[in-house]
Amino acid sequence: MGLSYVYKRFTPQDFAVIPFNAHKQYNFTSASAAEFSVNHYSSSYTSESVSIYSSASSNPLGVFDSINNIKYNQVDHLFYRNYKKNPSRKKDLTNHNKQRRDLYEKANILSIPSGLYGYQVRKGSFYLSSSTHEIVDDSFGNLLISGTNVSNYPIDPQENVFRLGPVKGFKKYDLSIHDGYAVFNTFYDKYENRLPNQVFNEGTQHIQPHIKNTERKFWRQGQKNAAAFNTYTTNNKLNIYNPYEDLDEDDSYFSTPLQYNNVTFKKSSLGNTNHKFPTINFNSATSSFIKINETPRLNFNAQEEFCISFYIKPDATGSQNDISDSEKRYILAKSTTKTIPGSGNLSGSNSNLIDTSAGPQYPFEIYLQSQSLYFARSDGDTTNIINGEITASGGTCQRTSHILCQLSSSKIQIWFDGTKIAETTNTLIKSTKNKANLYIGSKGPTTSTDDQNTNITSSHHFNGELGNINIWNRAFNTNTIKKISSSVNASPYRRYVL
């Protein structure tokens, strides 16, 4: 019997296309990477203008980019700078809850041609082996050492209600250099008539000038600033041209505004030989402090858990090269002083604000007295205070060390370099909340400088270095506290993978 055949024309319903992703894996060694144009660069920030650098041999200035500053600025512009506030202008999408993009003074850049990875590097596929570590990505764009348990770190950015590295502190190491553009303001009177470009003082009430337009005239980074001060103070009267770049804010997810007063920035001893973390230097003789206006995120009640962490290096204040046992050197305080509008204050104006008492209750004060650190809380009727000596085997507190103070369950605790040194039971019943500002290096206007009469008050400005200051709205266990203490920036991540 013969075979029979039937032919039928296919219709769209007779077939389907099933899409799939095709991935190709590349493996490189230090020897074969160059063959495929996979290159490594050690890059660095500089306060000089990027325009004087060139990778071309024809550069007329004869200055070549040995520190790969051009690449550093390219990466900063495409992936890091203002990624929280201006994500639409970044090269890739940002998941703020999963990525903490910190670009410090120095960065290692691994350049991979797009022809090798196509649309993107497959999530979770990056692997780098060196003589010291194996580095992998966590599929969210973060690089970390293989085997790291991220649950032992405080990685939720919304719990980190205040954070001040300061990550970009290195940009203010040299205050004698202009940063960015020359800014020109255009003034108008109350009738919207343009006025000559001149500086008006607040007493010119009959003219009532205001800034309507602000322009960047020319790039001047790297030029010497003849009018520069030796210390940095936030300019509250500056009309901000670019709100993404020109504001002083903390490094947290919330970008909390803050005000520096007479501080300097320097490299700390924390880090490795290739990179040192920035720190803030406070001078108790010149009223150095940082002010953060009252925010509910930092206003913890009597039974609310919270944690405060920072690195500290106190400097001597006495003539005997020590720290006086009769003076309280305030490190962080949300007590005593609140800022309110004064009489005659115009609506929406900050020109007539006054400082006044915030009441007797406060969620926390942390201060140094002699060689001991104190952690205090008060509900107005009862005050809980604990203290512990922070000298360790060195016999002095004038060294860099890590401090963590927290309310954990019903216990008030102080941890020193990852070890608990003081604890007591929380006995506060009434509210500890207030409207006080948060002060760092001070407890507000009532704090004395060293050149004032010490009999006026025992409250003095802190003298020394503070860095990597964090406040979380939760407490941590022993494992996490040890990780916070040893990692410097309280993060398991080494860098962001592009």
- 288's CB contacts (< 8 A; 6+ apart) are 231, 261, 262, 263, 281, 282, 441, 442, 461, 462
Say how many C-beta atoms besides its own lie within 10 A of residue 39's C-beta: 12
Place of tokens 């939720």: 156
- Cis ω for the linkage preceding 166 (within 30 of 0): yes
Report the SS3 class of residue 481: helix
* The CATH fold of domain 160-178+224-490: Jelly Rolls (2.60.120)
Cβ atoms 374, 386 nearer than 8 A: yes
Q: Got the DSSP string for 207-236?
A: T--EEEEEEEEEE-TTSB-TT--SSB---T
Q: How many residues does the chain have?
A: 498
Cβ atoms 379, 303 nearer than 8 A: no
Residue 436 confidence (pLDDT): 96
Helix (H) or strand (E) holding 330: strand 328-333
Helix (H) or strand (E) holding 107: strand 106-111
Residue 349 confidence (pLDDT): 46
Domain boundaries, given as residue ranges, for the chain = 19-148, 160-178+224-490, 181-219
Backbone φ/ψ region at 208: left (φ over 0), alpha (ψ -120 to 50), beta = left
Say how many C-beta atoms besides its own lie within 10 A of residue 178's C-beta: 17
- Cis ω for the linkage preceding 243 (within 30 of 0): no
Strands 328-333 and 160-164: unpaired
Residue 92 confidence (pLDDT): 78
Residue 395 confidence (pLDDT): 81
For residues 82 and 317, what is the distance between their CA atoms, to the nearest angstrom?
Answer: 39
Report the SS3 class of residue 22: coil
Residue 321 confidence (pLDDT): 66
Residue 34: phi and psi, rounded to 5, are -60, -30
Residue 194 confidence (pLDDT): 66
For the chain, how far is it from start to end, CA to CA, in angstroms? 68
* pTM above threshold 0.75: yes
Residue 301 confidence (pLDDT): 97
> Would the CA dihedral through 349, 355, 359, 364 be positive or negative?
positive
Residue 419 confidence (pLDDT): 96
Profile the chain (498 residues) by mean pLDDT over runs of 10 residues.
67 74 78 86 86 62 78 90 82 81 91 82 87 88 92 95 96 86 67 60 49 63 83 73 72 94 95 92 94 96 97 82 83 93 53 84 96 96 97 85 96 97 97 96 89 65 96 97 95 73
Beta-bridge partner residues of 188: 194, 210
The separation between CA 35 and the C-alpha centre of its own chain, rounded to angstroms, equals 39
Sequence letter at residue 469: I
- 132's CB contacts (< 8 A; 6+ apart) are none
